[in-house]
A and B are shown apart, each in its own frame.
Chain A
Amino acid sequence: DADVTQTPRNRITKTGKRIMLECSQTKGHDRMYWYRQDPGLGLRLIYYSFDVKDINKGEISDGYSVSRQAQAKFSLSLESAIPNQTALYFCATSDPNSRGRDNEQFFGPGTRLTVL
């Protein structure tokens, strides 16, 4: 079944470490997104990419970077992790050419990241 997968599912790391979160999709969608979710704040957009050559900052990009290695792969990096980056991270995809549900986003299962 076409899907959005994220690795790792859980990660505990220490302040100052470099961390990479990976996202893969088999939906064939061009658009991919990275969000973080915090209690009481909902989902906030970190970065998004509309195709392999396109990268855009979202609402809260400071401290993060991304790489779009292929249509199916979009990675999020924390260059030097800090405790307030502890959160649930979601990758999502969308197809702007879908009929009737433009802008619907399909989410992965999430990565729970703890920075000590």
Chain B
Amino acid sequence: QKEVEQDPGPLSVPEGAIVSLNCTYSNSAFQYFMWYRQYSRKGPELLMYTYSSGNKEDGRFTAQVDKSSKYISLFIRDSQPSDSATYLCAMGGYNKLIFGAGTRLAVHP
């Protein structure tokens, strides 16, 4: 079993939709939880960062962590075509991160 599981999609939604992306994990020692966004032919860039259970909001993006269920989510409100990218969850401790497989999202006008 992988330490981090993420559905690779692809996910296709119309502009304006609410998008929900999810990851599950097995290692209860993970302390940091992140979402990276990767555009085609680019390196991943950090989108959201949290180290506690609960919700964190930044504009149209909300990251949710449930440590008791070992489950994290990223919600995108009012999705835009510019949100079309691959979204990777990442989690770990002080020394290294474990990445999910990435979910490819396409937002069509």
Query: Within the complex, which residue of A4, A40, A103, A108 is in contact with B97, where a contact is CB–CB below 8 Å?
Result: A103
Beta-carbon contact of B34 and A43 below 8 Å: no
**Contact A104 to B49, CB < 8 A, known contacts A41-B101, A42-B100, A48-B96:** yes
Contacts of A103 in B (CB 8 A): 32, 92-94, 96-97
Task: Count A-side interface residues using an 8 Å CB cutoff.
Answer: 26
Beyond contacts A90-B43, A90-B44, A92-B43: 18 other A-B pairs, Cβ-Cβ < 8 A, are A33-B96, A35-B99, A42-B4, A45-B96, A50-B95, A58-B96, A101-B46, A101-B49, A102-B32, A103-B94, A104-B34, A104-B46, A104-B49, A105-B97, A107-B44, A109-B41, A109-B43, A110-B42
Residue positions of A touching B, CB distance < 8 A: 4, 33, 35, 39-45, 48, 50, 58, 90, 92, 96, 101-110
